[in-house]
Amino acid sequence: MPDINCCQICGEAAPPIEGYCGEITGYRLVRDPWATAPSFLDGNIHFSCLEGSDKRTQFFDEFTHLVQAGHEEIDSLDGSFPPLTRMGLGMFQIFSGAECHIFQSEVADRWMVVKKSGPWFALNYSQLQEITKGNPPKSPSDVTQYRLPVDLGNEIHDQSLTDLLAALGVEDRYTAVVDLTPVDYRFVDYYAPKFLLDYVVRAPLPLPEEARAFLANHAETYVPITFDDEEGP
């Protein structure tokens, strides 16, 4: 089983970048179709590897079930009792197209676009508004921490995203999805003893055209969810 910081399909370094490389955490209890023995996914996945895998349909079925499920019991890996309990995302499907499905949360202004080839894109209300303006939604500018497989030395402070991925030998895993030119990358910090890199990436999310078209129309009638405080005695 690959290290959690490596792609669970190809086993190579996999710095998370929304739209290019995603993370499946172990507590989600998503079955791993690439494992040689029954196990749950726990780690990162290059979207280019996912789309090129012959297991992508199995992953799509498992992942979209999780997206729609609520609190549920699932079989343990060896089929023994008691069963395991997991919490799905509790979304409902609002679109099914040739390339993707789209799901919407019942309790928050959140959406999930899942391509039939595997990659997924989580969206919030501000990103939905960008789509209505004809702009590609970008990933949030949150700080990501990633443990490198090797120490890249002091050069890491001045490397571009392309340089970083090339030094890790995985540039092609990301450029296979889309051109990296419009991706904004900023180095934040590096703790050499533990190979821990902190960085910020703002990346245009490569949504299928049918998803952008549907969400642009969907936004015209969508009413944001609010939780007003109750008034009165």
Residue 228 lies in a domain: no
DSSP letter, residue 222:
-
**Other beta carbons less than 10 A from residue 194's beta carbon:** 10
Residue 232 lies in a domain: no
Residue 62 lies in a domain: yes
pTM for the whole structure: 0.91
Share the mean pLDDT of the chain.
92
Residue 184 lies in a domain: yes
CB 205 within 8 A of CB 124: no
- Per-residue confidence (pLDDT) for residue 194, from 0 to 100: 96
72-82 pLDDT, tens digit each? 888 888 778 88
88-115 pLDDT, tens digit each? 999 999 999 999 999 999 999 999 999 9
Residue 231 lies in a domain: no
Residue 4 lies in a domain: no
- Give the residue with greater pLDDT, 232 vs 4: 4
Residue 12 lies in a domain: no
Distances (CA, A) of 5 to 53, 186, 196, 199: 19, 20, 11, 15
**Other beta carbons less than 10 A from residue 86's beta carbon:** 17
How far is 224 from 45, CA to CA, in rounded Å? Answer: 32
- Per-residue confidence (pLDDT) for residue 116, from 0 to 100: 98
Alpha helices, DSSP H, located in 96-154: 125-132
Task: State how many domains the chain has.
Answer: 1
- Tell me which residue range forms the domain holding 212: 21-221
Residue 9 lies in a domain: no
**Mean pLDDT, residues 130-151:** 94
CB 93 within 8 A of CB 103: yes
- Per-residue confidence (pLDDT) for residue 232, from 0 to 100: 36
How far is 203 from 183, CA to CA, in rounded Å? Answer: 5
Taking every pair of C-alpha atoms in the chain, what is the biggest distance, in angstroms? Answer: 64
- Give the residue with greater pLDDT, 195 vs 229: 195
Query: In the structure encoding, which two tokens stand for residue 80, read together?
Result: 């023994």
**Mean pLDDT, residues 21-47:** 94
